[in-house]
């Protein structure tokens, strides 16, 4: 089912509740009958080569998780062995109790005693065209040196460090250096604004910011250091040091006593930095994700369980081998970059490719040229990108040799069958399995995904749960729904890479993820299962949008709009978008005396972009004299979503304070 079709089928259940209702139990409009089995050649070489093998392993992971995960965890390097696999008291999980290890050591040191020592760990290409290769030995040296730079600048075990970098190897080096000395990192996407940096610095009380003078994007320089300067001027800050890597070479402000140059600091340190032994439950990183309250949530992940899940999914889902050149196109600022560009591939000893810039710079074939040049064999990207490639035309792709590819993957949002088929035929040449992965920042790694050597795939479905993932689709009362009926996607058992909390807010952690169904994790997504038990993800059912694979809180955008002096009130909803999955539509009422115009609409779009970042830029501003509200003052977002999508208004409107508002909104648009 396409995302557009899926969104039209999702109707709130008739239920008196202030919580989002699950989708109505309705038969899907379309049933996908195309099935693609792994080739005999692929299955023969794969770690998991049949559905019988997958089912046997899955059953053990659910029925005997201590035995299953205890065995898998022994493949990691432990400085002190664990004595117990799991302790679970909802919503708090502790994995691998008594064990001590270090993520940086598992990603680097343990590969230095064999042939991987001189193997490429990271292959990097900058947008202007520079090329670098870091072997495992070289990466280990640079990580140790920068870990000593962090210590020299006051970083101690338990401190928090903000990393705001372009897509360069130094971003991964900074992450691994933090992990090496027991410092928590919080990576901020390089497209976010000064305001977003400030919010994250303040929430986690960061002591150090690691950044660069700038980065490249579509031929222009992104002023990263200036954004950091602006963020730290927005009130008091806990930041004592800013470490700046020279990437673009433009002039930047250096504040004496606070700012230091990365390369200059390296002159004062050596490459000897032992990996600190950390408890398996020691915090590894905080990664902020949008929430429906307007305040980003600091998702906390810990050491042992997160590393194991990243390692296992790279081993079984990507089936990564020593000879592979693996490319995850995500930015390191998102969880996909954490788990599947840095930690998972490096823990497995794989070669991970990084590219700094845009897929269409200087021309629309940049990705295909990179695959051709470096002979990429495993390629992991987002449906948004795939739809853009389709839009640009097949001729860009046909200019290059893509026969090195053996496995394709998708991440970030459900992929519509049309895009899946194009990806399969044009990019994979009809021979590459596609792993369509469903997971979240909160889950740490793949939750529902095909196993490429075993799972027959269908265009548009993430298929079946990964090991240890007890997934179900339920109605509002927690009862499992029938085949092809839509409901709420829940996880009923703990898994190793699950989030351990929201930084500094235990209550919000409990209320956000564990209050809807007692003892179960509620993912916030709607889904259905077909006759074969395959999961079809419908999308978010709360007020968090999925724009180009990035989660965006509507409340954050509304807050940004209302901060503009012309705006009195706003409501933000998503609408189906063929390229991005969801577009951002903003309904705005202005203050008395303010005249609406197309120019004001463009000004508001720029304002949101400045306050939050480019990913949040509204697709459409609709000015309205009033918003549809109940008599109690609650905005009826259900109606706004229908207006934004150009649909006929359906459902109960008797609680509306003014029915005429809907007709006025339907007639409005960008002035």
Report the CATH number at residue 265. Answer: 3.40.50.980
Residue 249 domain boundaries: 142-284
Residue 476 lies in a domain: no
Tokens of 118: 């001189």
Q: Report the interhelical angle of 660-667 vs 637-644 (nearest 10°).
A: 30
- Last residue of one domain, picked from the residues 262, 284, 306: 284
Question: Residue 294 has what pLDDT?
Answer: 58
Average pLDDT for 543-556:
75
d(CA 121, CA 124): 10
Question: Residue 193 has what pLDDT?
Answer: 87
- Last residue of one domain, picked from the residues 237, 253, 284: 284
Q: What is the pLDDT of residues 388-399, one digit of tens each?
A: 898 888 999 999
Average pLDDT for 55-64:
98
The mean-pLDDT minimum among 83-92, 175-184, 550-559 falls in: 550-559
Question: Residue 671 has what pLDDT?
Answer: 45
Residue 270 lies in a domain: yes
In degrees and rounded to multiples of 5, residue 56 shows phi and psi of -65, -45
Task: Select the more confidently predicted residue: 645 or 252.
Answer: 252
Q: What is the pLDDT of residues 188-198, one digit of tens each?
A: 999 888 998 99
Domains contained in the chain, number: 2
Neighbours of 59 (CB within 10 A): 12
Task: Select the more confidently predicted residue: 637 or 205.
Answer: 205
Does position 450 have pLDDT exceeding 60, yes or no? yes
Q: Cβ contacts of residue 488 below 8 Å, gap of 6+?
A: 22, 473, 474, 475, 476, 516, 517, 522, 523, 525, 526, 527, 541
Does position 656 have pLDDT exceeding 70, yes or no? no
**pLDDT band with cut points at 50, 70 and 90 for residue 659:** low
Q: What is the pLDDT of residues 298-321, one digit of tens each?
A: 999 999 999 999 999 999 999 999
Residue 616 lies in a domain: yes
Q: Cβ contacts of residue 83 below 8 Å, gap of 6+?
A: 97, 98, 99
Cβ atoms 307, 130 nearer than 8 A: no
Does position 427 have pLDDT exceeding 70, yes or no? yes
Reported residue count of the chain is 671
Average pLDDT for 261-283:
98
**pLDDT band with cut points at 50, 70 and 90 for residue 654:** very low
The residue written with tokens 């007890």 in the block is 470
Question: Residue 65 has what pLDDT?
Answer: 98
Average pLDDT for 237-248:
98
Hey, what's the torsion of the CAs at 336, 151, 297, 385, to 10 degrees?
-20
Does position 245 have pLDDT exceeding 60, yes or no? yes
Q: What percent of the chain has pLDDT over 90?
A: 74
Does position 291 have pLDDT exceeding 60, yes or no? no
Q: What is the pLDDT of residues 318-358, one digit of tens each?
A: 999 999 999 999 999 999 999 999 999 999 999 999 999 99
Candidates 294, 288, 193; CA nearest to 234 is: 193
Does position 648 have pLDDT exceeding 70, yes or no? yes
**pLDDT band with cut points at 50, 70 and 90 for residue 201:** very high
The residue written with tokens 């990437």 in the block is 247
Torsional sign, CA 469, 527, 557, 575: positive
The residue written with tokens 């029925």 in the block is 63
Residue 223 lies in a domain: yes
Residue 120 lies in a domain: no
Output the domain CATH number for residue 633.
Answer: 3.30.300.30
- Last residue of one domain, picked from the residues 284, 313, 333: 284
Residue 167 lies in a domain: yes
d(CA 463, CA 471): 12
Cβ atoms 106, 303 nearer than 8 A: no
Neighbours of 294 (CB within 10 A): 14
Question: Residue 636 has what pLDDT?
Answer: 75
Tokens of 652: 């109960």
Average pLDDT for 376-382:
97
Candidates 581, 618, 549, 126; CA nearest to 358 is: 126
Average pLDDT for 375-386:
94
d(CA 301, CA 23): 31
Pairing of strands 407-410, 378-381: parallel
Question: Residue 18 has what pLDDT?
Answer: 35
Does position 292 have pLDDT exceeding 70, yes or no? no
d(CA 398, CA 375): 15
Pairing of strands 351-355, 120-125: parallel
Residue 631 lies in a domain: yes
Q: Report the interhelical angle of 598-611 vs 554-562 (nearest 10°).
A: 120
Average pLDDT for 234-263:
96
Q: Cβ contacts of residue 183 below 8 Å, gap of 6+?
A: 150, 155, 156, 157, 158, 159, 160, 161
Average pLDDT for 620-627:
88
Q: Cβ contacts of residue 535 below 8 Å, gap of 6+?
A: 438, 448, 461, 462, 463, 464, 465, 471, 473, 489, 527, 528, 529
The three-state secondary structure class of 285 is strand
Question: Residue 62 has what pLDDT?
Answer: 98
Residue 269 lies in a domain: yes
- CA–CA–CA angle 216, 221, 227 (5° rounding): 110
Question: Residue 107 has what pLDDT?
Answer: 98
Does position 634 have pLDDT exceeding 70, yes or no? no
Q: What is residue 424's DSSP assignment?
A: I
Does position 471 have pLDDT exceeding 70, yes or no? yes
């Amino acid at each position: 089912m396409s995302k557009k079709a899926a969104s039209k089928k999702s109707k709130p259940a008739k239920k008196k509740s202030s919580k989002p209702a699950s989708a109505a139990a309705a038969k899907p409009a379309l049933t996908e009958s195309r099935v693609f089995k792994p080739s005999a050649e692929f299955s023969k070489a794969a770690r998991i080569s049949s559905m019988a093998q997958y089912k046997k392993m899955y059953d053990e992971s659910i029925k005997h998780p201590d035995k299953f995960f205890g065995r898998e965890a022994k493949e990691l390097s432990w400085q002190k062995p664990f004595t117990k696999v799991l302790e679970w008291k909802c919503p708090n999980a502790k994995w691998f109790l008594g064990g001590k290890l270090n993520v940086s050591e598992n990603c680097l040191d343990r590969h230095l005693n064999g042939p991987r020592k001189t193997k490429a760990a990271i292959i990097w290409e900058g947008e202007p065209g520079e090329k670098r290769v870091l072997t495992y030995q070289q990466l280990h040296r640079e990580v140790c040196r920068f870990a000593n730079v962090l210590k020299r600048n006051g970083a101690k075990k338990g401190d928090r460090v903000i990393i705001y970098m372009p897509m360069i190897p130094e971003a991964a080096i900074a992450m691994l250096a933090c992990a090496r000395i027991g410092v928590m990192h919080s990576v901020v996407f390089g497209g976010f604004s000064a305001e977003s940096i400030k919010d994250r610095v303040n929430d986690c009380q960061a002591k150090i910011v690691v950044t660069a003078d700038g980065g490249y994007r579509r031929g222009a320089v992104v002023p990263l250091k200036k954004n950091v300067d602006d963020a730290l001027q927005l009130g008091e800050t806990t930041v004592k040091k800013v470490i700046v890597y020279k990437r673009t070479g433009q002039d930047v402000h250096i504040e004496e006593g606070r700012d230091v140059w990365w390369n200059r600091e390296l002159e004062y340190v050596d490459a000897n930095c032992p990996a600190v032994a950390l408890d398996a439950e020691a915090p590894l990183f905080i990664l902020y994700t949008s929430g429906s309250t307007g305040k980003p949530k600091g998702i906390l992940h810990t050491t042992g369980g997160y590393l194991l899940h990243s390692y296992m999914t790279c081993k079984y889902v990507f089936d990564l081998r020593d000879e592979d050149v693996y490319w995850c196109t995500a930015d390191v600022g998102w969880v996909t970059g954490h788990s599947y560009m840095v930690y998972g591939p490096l823990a497995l000893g794989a070669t991970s490719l990084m590219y700094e810039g845009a897929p269409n710079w200087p021309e629309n074939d940049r990705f295909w040229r990179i695959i051709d040049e470096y002979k990429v064999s495993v390629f992991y990207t987002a449906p948004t990108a795939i739809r853009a490639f389709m839009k640009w035309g097949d001729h860009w792709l046909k200019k290059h040799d893509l026969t090195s590819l053996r496995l394709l993957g998708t991440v970030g949002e459900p992929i519509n069958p049309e895009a899946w088929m194009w990806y399969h035929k044009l990019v994979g040449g009809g021979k590459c399995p596609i792993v369509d992965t469903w997971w979240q920042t909160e889950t740490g790694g793949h939750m529902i995904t095909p196993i490429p050597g075993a799972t027959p795939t269908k265009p548009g479905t993430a298929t079946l749960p990964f090991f240890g993932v007890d997934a179900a689709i339920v109605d509002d009362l927690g009862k499992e729904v029938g085949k092809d009926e839509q409901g709420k996607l829940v996880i009923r058992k703990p898994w190793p890479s699950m989030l351990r909390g929201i930084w500094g807010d235990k209550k919000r952690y409990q209320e956000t993820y564990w209050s809807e169904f007692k003892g179960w994790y509620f993912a916030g997504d709607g889904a259905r299962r077909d006759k074969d038990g395959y999961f079809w993800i419908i999308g978010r059912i709360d007020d968090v949008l999925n724009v180009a694979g990035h989660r965006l809180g509507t409340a954050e955008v509304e807050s940004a709009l209302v901060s503009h002096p012309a705006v009195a009130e706003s409501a933000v909803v998503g609408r189906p978008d063929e390229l991005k999955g969801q577009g951002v539509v903003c309904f705005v009422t202005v203050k008395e005396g303010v005249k609406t115009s197309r120019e004001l609409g463009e000004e508001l779009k720029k304002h949101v972009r400045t306050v939050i970042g480019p990913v949040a830029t509204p697709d459409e501003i609709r000015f309205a004299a009033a918003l549809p509200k109940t008599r109690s003052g609650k905005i009826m977002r259900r109606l706004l979503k229908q207006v934004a999508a150009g649909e006929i208004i359906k459902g109960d409107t008797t609680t509306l304070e003014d029915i005429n508002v809907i007709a006025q909104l339907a007639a409005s648009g960008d002035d």
